[in-house]
Amino acid sequence: MQDADDRDEGTRPDAGGGESDAGTYWWCTLCPMADGTRRDLTGLLESIGGRDGRLVHLQRTPSRPGRHADWPEWADPDLVTAYRRLGVERPWTHQVAAARSAHAGHHTVLATGTGSGKSLAAWLPALSDVLAAQAPGTDSRISAHGQRPTTLYLSPTKALAADQAAALGRLIGELETVQRDAGTPAGSLRTVRAGTCDGDTPLPERDWVRAHADVVLTNPDFLHFSLLPGHERWPRLLRGLRYIVIDECHAYRGILGAHVALVLRRLLRLVTRLRPRGPQPVVLCASATAAEPALTAARLIGANPDDVVAVTDDGAPAGERTLALWQPALRDPWALPTPGKGEPAKTAAPQPAPAEDAGSSPGTAQAGAEAMTAEPDSGDPGEDPSARRSAVVEAAELLVDLLSVGARALVFVRSRRSAEIVAERARHTLGLSLPELIGTVSAYRGGYLPEERRALEADLRSGRLRALATTSALELGIDVTGLDAVLIAGWPGTRVSLGQ
């Protein structure tokens, strides 16, 4: 089984070119400084790249205020109190709209911006149903434990599942604290049991998840290779399955999307066979960049698009953001002629002319030679790409500039080797001027041990790591607060990946 975090090797099939191409542009998205200071990262970019033409384009997106809504009347009071203790006094409008739709039994897709709190829309109805099954007056026998509603959470990467498991653990811990503070005896606490089950999960933990978990966090690979073939060992999850949460559903496109769609339909058919007269599972999809969310979700689960409720009106606030289009610096700017001055450019040693085809003319060959010697920045598609530095080298140097002013940043590259190069080059450069920051830069990619990946994710969230050079293994949906800049070395292949 392929590791869901190991799909970052090499170039993605939908991406053109590579970051090693010296003529490749790369992108930098910026937001206000996390520590509340007013350092202007846009001004830093303009001062670095404005003089030599590296800063090609700058686009600013203004901030927008948030819009709140009241908690749904069916939401569990203790769960609402737990959310409030975690800082969520009132949910955003899109969270309530999606949660109400899913709780009412409608397949739902929530397509709002990154960091807009889409997880709350899934956990609010799912956890409320689990807690309602444990309310006073309900069946408290041991046999009733197997009849509690369950939720299956699917993510494209293990990093995202681990991030959600950590957030869910904090919420459940706060939920239990709320009840203890209210004087509820320890034996009467209502709780939710959640567990992660993937290729990294030890066998004893898998057994516990099968027997006790109300919420199972996994990925489509595990669902296909382990859970569905061994479905007779998952009766509690499948017979009580109330919600299926598909995070980052836009990631399932092309051949991968076709495979995941077939796996999901197998799952839904299996639940129907195990529970022919019971309510069927509700699918809740979440995406930050789906162009046609209802159609995307409908294709995944085999439903009619009219039967899927799409929530696209983002009620979350957003800070001001800046998108910069950057090109790497020239390798030797002094070797180029000044436009309009007529100085001769450096020429390479003459090469033997290729043999002309029978149908070609001398004029065609001459035009091809002129195209191959076009100057950088001439706009000619035949300009020499080797005249500019690698985008990976450029990204490492700009990362050092950002770290020197106190910013926190991520650098996305398209291969494991490039991630290591960016991190090592940045550490080397910092060692010459700011050695105290060497330990705050690291690489993240598929191929690391699970405990190494989880440690890097924790250090990034806590702020001990100020910069991470990473592949697409960290691209989808990781919630990292306090980031000031995101650098993307090379065109990521699609506008979806760029927005993500």
| Per-residue pLDDT tens over the stretch 400-444 | 999 998 889 999 888 889 999 999 999 999 999 999 999 999 999
Banded model confidence at residue 78, pLDDT cuts 50, 70, 90: very high
Does a structural domain hold residue 364? Answer: no
Question: What tens digit of pLDDT does each residue of 132-189 get?
Answer: 999 876 655 555 555 799 999 999 988 788 889 999 999 999 999 999 999 999 888 9
- Whether residue 300 is found in the same domain as residue 396: no
Q: What percent of the chain has pLDDT over 90?
A: 48
Give the range among 115-119, 218-222, 347-351 with minimum mean pLDDT. 347-351
Report the pLDDT value the prediction gives residue 140, as an integer from 0 to 100: 56
Does a structural domain hold residue 105? Answer: yes
Averaged pLDDT score across all residues of the chain: 81
Give the range among 55-64, 76-85, 398-407 with minimum mean pLDDT. 55-64
Question: What tens digit of pLDDT does each residue of 346-376 get?
Answer: 444 444 444 444 444 444 444 444 444 445 5
pLDDT surpassing 80 at residue 10: no
More confident residue, 108 or 344: 108
Report the pLDDT value the prediction gives residue 25, as an integer from 0 to 100: 47
Does a structural domain hold residue 198? Answer: yes
Stretch 381-392: mean pLDDT, rounded?
70
Give the range among 19-28, 132-141, 258-267, 390-399 with minimum mean pLDDT. 19-28
Look at residues 311, 346, 376 and tell me which one is the last residue of a structural domain: 311
Stretch 67-72: mean pLDDT, rounded?
96
**How far apart are the C-alpha atoms of 353 and 456, rounded to whole Å?**
54
Does a structural domain hold residue 55? Answer: no
pLDDT surpassing 90 at residue 268: yes
- Whether residue 138 is found in the same domain as residue 287: yes
- Whether residue 397 is found in the same domain as residue 302: no
pTM over 0.95: no
Following CA atoms 139, 140, 143, 146 in sequence, which dihedral angle do they give, to the nearest 10 degrees? 80
**Per-residue three-class SS string for the chain:** CCCCCCCCCCCCCCCCCCCCCCCCCEEEEECCCCCCCCCCHHHHHHHHHCCCCCEEEEEEECCECCCECCCCCCCCHHHHHHHHHCCCCCCEHHHHHHHHHHHCCCEEEEECCCCCCHHHHHHHHHHHHHHHCCCCCCCCCHHHHHHCCEEEEECCCHHHHHHHHHHHHHHHHHHHHHHHHCCCCHHHCCCCCEEECCCCCCHHHHHHHHHHCCEEEECHHHHHHHHCCCHHHCHHHHHCEEEEEECCHHHCCHHHHHHHHHHHHHHHHHHHHHCCCCCCCEEEEEECCCCCHHHHHHHHHCCCHHHEEEECCCCCCECCEEEEEECCCECCHHHCCCCCCCCCCCCCCCCCCCCCCCCCCHHHHHHHHHHHCCCCCCCCCCCCHHHECCHHHHHHHHHHHHHHCCCCEEEECCCHHHHHHHHHHHHHHHHHHCHHHHHHEEEECCCCCHHHHHHHHHHHHHCCCCEEEECHHHCCCCCCCCCCEEEECCCCCCHHHHHC
- Whether residue 267 is found in the same domain as residue 120: yes
Look at residues 281, 311, 341 and tell me which one is the last residue of a structural domain: 311
Q: How many domains does the chain have?
A: 2
Report the pLDDT value the prediction gives residue 475, as an integer from 0 to 100: 61
Does a structural domain hold residue 329? Answer: no
Report the pLDDT value the prediction gives residue 490, as an integer from 0 to 100: 82
Banded model confidence at residue 323, pLDDT cuts 50, 70, 90: confident
- Whether residue 393 is found in the same domain as residue 288: no
Report the pLDDT value the prediction gives residue 11, as an integer from 0 to 100: 37
More confident residue, 18 or 408: 408
- Whether residue 158 is found in the same domain as residue 294: yes
Query: Which is nearest to 162 in space by CA: 217, 216, 206?
Result: 217
Query: Which is nearest to 323 in space by CA: 20, 64, 41?
Result: 41
Q: Which domain holds residue 243?
A: 77-311
Does a structural domain hold residue 59? Answer: no
pLDDT surpassing 50 at residue 97: yes
Does a structural domain hold residue 378? Answer: no
Does a structural domain hold residue 66? Answer: no
More confident residue, 383 or 94: 94
Report the pLDDT value the prediction gives residue 217, as an integer from 0 to 100: 97
pLDDT surpassing 80 at residue 466: yes
Stretch 437-462: mean pLDDT, rounded?
87
Report the pLDDT value the prediction gives residue 441, as an integer from 0 to 100: 94
Query: Which is nearest to 417 in space by CA: 451, 389, 443?
Result: 443
- Whether residue 301 is found in the same domain as residue 394: no
Look at residues 266, 281, 311 and tell me which one is the last residue of a structural domain: 311
CATH number reported for the structural domain that contains residue 129 in this entry: 3.40.50.300
- Whether residue 106 is found in the same domain as residue 225: yes
pLDDT surpassing 70 at residue 340: no
**How far apart are the C-alpha atoms of 282 and 260, rounded to whole Å?**
17
Report the pLDDT value the prediction gives residue 358, as an integer from 0 to 100: 43
Banded model confidence at residue 284, pLDDT cuts 50, 70, 90: very high
pLDDT surpassing 80 at residue 249: yes
Banded model confidence at residue 342, pLDDT cuts 50, 70, 90: very low
pLDDT surpassing 50 at residue 204: yes
